[in-house]
């Protein structure tokens, strides 16, 4: 799996390098106060990609951090609400059977 992942990234980097080599043309960007900036097209596309990608990445990481902290808080709450485990009662020894009295030879008198 690691090989396929590396192959995928090398393919993407190769395509980006081929695009940069074939489109290495200056682009005029008109700035304020009559300033003109000559920027190569691949660099301009990279900057525009980062301008769009970085805010979304920051929002995603912030959302993920908030969800992790929320889950941790909920787990702590559940742990606090769960009753403390009680130790098992000590084992009760079986009582010895009581021997039945032997009938005596003396007659019993009715009362």
Is the predicted pLDDT of residue 105 greater than 70, yes or no? no
Residues 6+ apart with CB under 8 A from 28: 36, 37, 38
Kindly state the percentage of the chain with pLDDT values over 90: 59
Global confidence as pTM:
0.59
Q: How far from the centroid of its chain's Cα atoms is residue 42's Cα?
A: 36
């Amino acid at each position: 799996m690691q090989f396929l992942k590396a192959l995928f990234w090398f393919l993407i980097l190769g395509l980006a390098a081929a695009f940069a080599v074939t489109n290495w043309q200056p682009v005029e960007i008109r700035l304020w106060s009559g300033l003109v900036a000559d920027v190569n097209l691949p660099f301009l596309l990279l900057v525009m990609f980062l301008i769009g990608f970085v805010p979304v990445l920051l929002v995603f990481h912030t959302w993920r951090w908030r969800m992790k902290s929320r889950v941790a808080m909920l787990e702590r709450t559940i742990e606090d609400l769960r009753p403390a485990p009680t130790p098992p009662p000590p084992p009760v020894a079986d009582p010895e059977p009581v021997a039945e009295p032997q009938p005596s030879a003396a007659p019993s008198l009715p009362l």
